[in-house]
Amino acid sequence: MEKEIKRIGILTSGGDSPGMNTAIRAVTRTAVSNGFEVYGIKKGYDGLINKEYRRLWAGDVSDILNKGGTMLHTARSQKMYTDEGVKKAAENYFEMGLCALIVIGGDGSFKGALKLSEYGVNVIGIPATIDLDISCTEYTIGFDTAVNTGTEALCKLKDTSSSHERCSVVEVMGRKNGSIALWCAIAGGADDALILEEKSEKSVENLISQIMRNKDKGRKNSLIVICEGFGNTNEIAKEIEEKTGIQTRATILGHIQRGGCPTVLDKMRASVMGYKAVLAIMDNKKNQVVSYINGKYTLIPIGMAFEKINKYDEEIYNILKTLSV
Ligand code: F6P
């Protein structure tokens, strides 16, 4: 009797993050070693809908370990917001003869995966986003690299703002979650961070009073981190300069934080998560996310992936406030 060949599809979706390639490599090599055929689907769900895919062999994922971005390309698929798009993606999954689809991405990508599971698709999620904002996991691939990039930039800015006795205001990514801002602020020795979660009418006023207090004590240079979406960083910098009399410069780091060679931590987490995703398929698990909780890798049903509220760590915020006195 002929042995049934099992096929796995893999895609990366949403904003890219350093370590996605590492996860693709781990999935491909674990799957190939265990007798699966692997199909790399291009440009996220759009590639599944438009039938853009190719077979991946172990050699196809050589030399991608140290590369940021994703060799499969990615997209924020608008079609997946429509019933028609989800149905087409599910139809193509069955036409390809897949037994599972590994989705490497963030919150939005998992919402798409959940919809696909309702059509009978078996989805296994690997959390990857620099934002660290997926409820079911304490780690998302790319976060560590992003905060290292952000921190390096802060350290450099600290040098020049100190030489010129200026205030440096640095905007970091993180959509609605302040984790990147807080980690960068602590590791980069910032004086304060403005994050959406703590935003009030008085946030900027309070910050300006703090800069003034520091100025009165003789300190003229300051380093402030602002989470994107908090407000207009250039305008805030202008207001600081006008009200404190200290020359202020704004730097928006933007997509720099999404690129670059993943850190060791990201490469480790991505390798283990990729490996575990394939093991889940071999164990006949259906519709799970490979999560990292309390120092362990664990599977969480994709339906439960959004249950907790995404929250930055409040203690980290308090630590920043304490350390920057
Ligand atoms: O992927 C997460 C993220 O980098 C957020 O931090 C940011 O708000 C958003 O993506 C930017 O998206 P885009 O690359 O589509 O501009």
Q: Tens digit of pLDDT per residue, the chain (325 long)? A: 556 779 999 999 999 999 999 999 999 999 999 999 999 999 999 999 999 999 999 999 999 999 999 999 999 999 999 999 999 999 999 999 999 999 999 999 999 999 999 999 999 999 999 999 999 999 999 999 999 999 999 999 999 999 999 999 999 999 889 999 999 999 999 999 999 999 999 999 999 999 999 999 998 899 999 999 999 999 999 999 999 999 999 999 999 999 999 999 999 999 999 999 999 999 999 999 999 999 999 999 999 988 776 778 889 999 999 998 7
Can you tell me the distance from the alpha carbon of 32 to that of 79, in angstroms, rounded to the nearest whole number? 31
Specify the pLDDT at position 28.
98
The residue type at 196: L
Q: How far is CA 265 from the centre of its chain?
A: 14
Tell me the torsion sign for CA atoms 85, 90, 94, 99: positive
Task: Decide whether any atom of ligand 1 lies within 6 Å of the 74 Cβ.
Answer: no
Measured in Å, residue 130 CA sits from the centre of ligand 1 at: 9
Specify whether the CB–CB gap between 101 and 9 falls below 8 A: yes
Ligand 1 pocket, mutate which of 131, 140, 176 (most atoms under 8 A from CB)? 131
Task: Decide whether any atom of ligand 1 lies within 6 Å of the 43 Cβ.
Answer: no
Atom 11, ligand 1: residue with shortest CA distance: 15
Q: Which two tokens stand for residue 58?
A: 């172990």
Atom 10, ligand 1: residue with shortest CA distance: 15
Q: Do domains 7-142+262-304 and 145-259 have the same CATH topology?
A: yes
Specify the pLDDT at position 126.
98
Q: Give the CA radius of gyration of the chain.
A: 22
Domains of the chain by residue range? 7-142+262-304, 145-259
Task: Decide whether any atom of ligand 1 lies within 6 Å of the 178 Cβ.
Answer: no
Of 131, 133, 191, 266, catalytic: 131
Measured in Å, residue 15 CA sits from the centre of ligand 1 at: 6
CATH class of 145-259: alpha beta
Specify the pLDDT at position 285.
98
Task: Decide whether any atom of ligand 1 lies within 6 Å of the 267 Cβ.
Answer: no
CATH code of 7-142+262-304, in short, is 3.40.50.450
The residue type at 181: A
Specify the pLDDT at position 313.
86
Specify whether the CB–CB gap between 224 and 194 falls below 8 A: yes
Question: Which ligand 1 atom sits nearest the alpha carbon of residue 228?
Answer: 8
Query: Is 131 an annotated catalytic residue?
Result: yes
Can you tell me the distance from the alpha carbon of 130 to that of 140, in angstroms, rounded to the nearest whole number? 7
Can you tell me the distance from the alpha carbon of 269 to that of 263, in angstroms, rounded to the nearest whole number? 10
Specify the pLDDT at position 2.
59
Reported pTM: 0.96
Specify whether the CB–CB gap between 291 and 284 falls below 8 A: no
Can you tell me the distance from the alpha carbon of 216 to that of 5, in angstroms, rounded to the nearest whole number? 73
How does DSSP classify residue 283? T
Q: Which two tokens stand for residue 16?
A: 């890219």
Can you tell me the distance from the alpha carbon of 131 to that of 138, in angstroms, rounded to the nearest whole number? 11
